[in-house]
Structure 1
């Protein structure tokens, strides 16, 4: 063992293995942190001589100061599902040179572990995370503890956030075959759970489809328009998240022609708090559809184009009212605007960078020998050739669904997008799956 390992192994095990200094602190600790992410029932108890310090003991030590309590209460719940009780009480190995780098200044001079809090008072959450992540990531720990260490590291250094936008084609109850729709809804929930996107923006999630996704989709947080109920259905917009939603707002479009007055399409805003400390501002949008069937009797194609143009202006006017300078903005959904249409240029001007097109190349019209590469480059999300549900409509193959990110995002800000499609479609649209690399709050972009 090298000198740095000796320093850590001699200092922190002694610091964290002392008995609870005062019983009332233990009781206050349990009362202060009732959330289910960590079980503190054994926190503060002196561990057996051969077991060393436990995770519960360490968290209890941190909680003895106001700074440490804020850290435990604010950061730890973001780090995934609860650990098994035996893991919370298992020994934490503190040997190793990697932990010395993140050791709080002066920790080697501590004589009892209740002195530890005063050494973290001037430390940021990221610094505490990095130190604790280095401790828990030791190969000597159980896999679940190492996973917790990796999550803490993500909280410190940033996050890769995945976002899915999908028009689920949830037919209103009066129009759909209920049995067929139930089978498709069950498949949709299975696909969402298997995909595991961090944030999901759904369009056309009407009535029963919405209820089933909320019950079986596997997401902890959700936002849907409280005031978005039309004569038959709500707006159909639904945003799901694995991370806390701090705020949400729905704005119905003022211009909704024909039968779309019954659906009250609009834009659903959510502000999501990411593990790295940053906020992601998500605008879930569904614009006016191309008129078909009976809708053609009420709305012409030219009128639909004008309506979408007006709706884009409404979205653009809403963004500065809800967005903040500290948040990172994404606008995604079913825009019903093909990439070949002039309105696509307006999308670029209003919302920034088309993530999918940025990844695949600026022009979708290159002649490629590889047919699959050409298919991927065009990225059709409405594709009657490959989607049996879309084949019922008399439309060309088009890219109608987009994910946009603000052009002024800091340099070094990474993102990518893929068209999401399966051999057995679950909707008449294919989805767009995007991932964004976001640095931790307070981190300088290079």
Structure 2
């Protein structure tokens, strides 16, 4: 009887190990890209926008990515260009409409998007500072529930308020509040998802309070920092644009 019990326990452990092995492998093989496309629809601000959007669409159509999280897709034309360029490899898409000019957040996915939800931030710049325009975007955090091989994955897309002035940052408190709000939203919506990914432009560095509040409140891990992934490298962006 004892040996039978031990055998059953060993079998259960082995089966559990196999399940975890394949489960973890599935997660590790999920390729997710986040990019701020700088799609401000004014040529004197955002140079070569149409050429860059076309080049980005070409890169995304390569089939290397399972989920793509984009920010600053302000133009409906740019949104359609990116969706049309990637529909053969990323057939599922969702744009989060918000504010006067839209949130700028676009998600493209290889896997079905089950549902989506947009949570606007209560603090987002100033109405009278038209030159900064963050207020008009109606910014917030967008959630896409994506079905990946029978598992629900939550993809969160967000673009926190810009800094504009390093020496006199009037929007630091705005970003901290946005980070805290985003972290609470992630914790409140985890539900039955097996994986939660925040892929966006956070306008924050590891030493910033915004970053620390977001990380510790959400109880998430910084995959880019732990894997030493280089981000925002000019040379890579230049190659992409070619």
Secondary structure of the residue aligned to 1:191 is: helix
Structure 1 ranges of 4+ moved more than 3 A: 173-178
The aligned counterpart of 1:263 is 137
What residue number does 1:247 align with? 115
Q: Give the superposition deviation at 1:244.
A: 0.5
Q: Is the CA contact (8 Å cut-off) linking 2:179 and 2:210 kept in structure 1? A: no
Q: TM-score if structure 1 supplies the norm length?
A: 0.43
1:272 paired with 2:146, answer: yes
Q: Within 1, Cα distance between the matches of 2:217 and 2:199?
A: 12
Residue equivalent to 1:9: none
Per-residue CA deviations over 1:102-135 (Å, capped at 9, x if unaligned) read xxxxxxxxxxxxxxxxxxxxxxxxxxxxxxxxxx
Q: How far apart are residue 176 of structure 1 and its match?
A: 4.8
- After superposition, give the CA deviation of every residue in 1:90-112 in whole Å (9 maximum; x if it has no partner): xxxxxxxxxxxxxxxxxxxxxxx
Residues 301-358 of structure 1 show CA distances to partners (whole Å, capped at 9, x for unaligned) of: 0x31100001012112222332214431111211001123233322320232110222
2:155 corresponds to:
282
Decide which structure has the larger Cα Rg and report it: 1
Once the two structures are TM-superposed, the CA of residue 255 in structure 1 deviates from its matched residue by 0.9
Corresponding residue for residue 209 of structure 1: 78
Which runs of no fewer than 5 residues in structure 1 stay unpaired? 1-153, 361-375, 388-420, 427-446
For residue 175 of structure 1, report the CA deviation from its aligned partner: 5.1
The answer as to 2:105 corresponding to 1:237 is yes
Answer 1 or 2: higher relative contact order, Cα 8 Å, separation at least 6. 2
Deviation at 1:215, TM superposition (A): 1.7
Matches within 5 A, 1:39-188: 158=26, 160-173=29-42, 176=45, 180-188=48-56
Q: Measure the CA separation in 1 of the matches of 2:147 and 2:37.
A: 26
- Asked whether the equivalents of residues 224 and 268 of structure 1 are also in contact (C-alpha less than 8 Å), the reply is no
- Are 1:222 and 2:93 an aligned pair? yes
Distance in 2 (CA, whole Å) between partners of 1:187 and 1:342 is 35
> TM-score of the superposition, structure 2-length normalised?
0.76
Structure 2 residue ranges without an equivalent (≥5): 1-21, 127-132
Counterpart-to-counterpart distance in 1, 2:99 and 2:72: 13
The partner residue of 1:306 within 144, 159, 173 is 173
Deviations 1:12-46 (A, max 9, x none): xxxxxxxxxxxxxxxxxxxxxxxxxxxxxxxxxxx
In structure 2, how many angstroms separate the alpha carbons of the residues matched to 1:210 and 1:326?
Answer: 28
Q: Does 1:356 align with 2:227?
A: no
Post-superposition offset of 1:184: 1.4
8 Å CA contact retained: 1:235, 1:264: yes
Distance 1:212 1:305, change over 3 A: same
Cα distance change on mapping 1:189 and 1:342 into 2, 3 Å: same
Residues in 1 aligned to 2:31 and 2:82: alpha-carbon distance in whole angstroms = 18
Does the 8 Å contact 2:180/2:213 carry over to 1? no
CA displacement 1:127-153 (0-9 Å, x = unmatched) = xxxxxxxxxxxxxxxxxxxxxxxxxxx
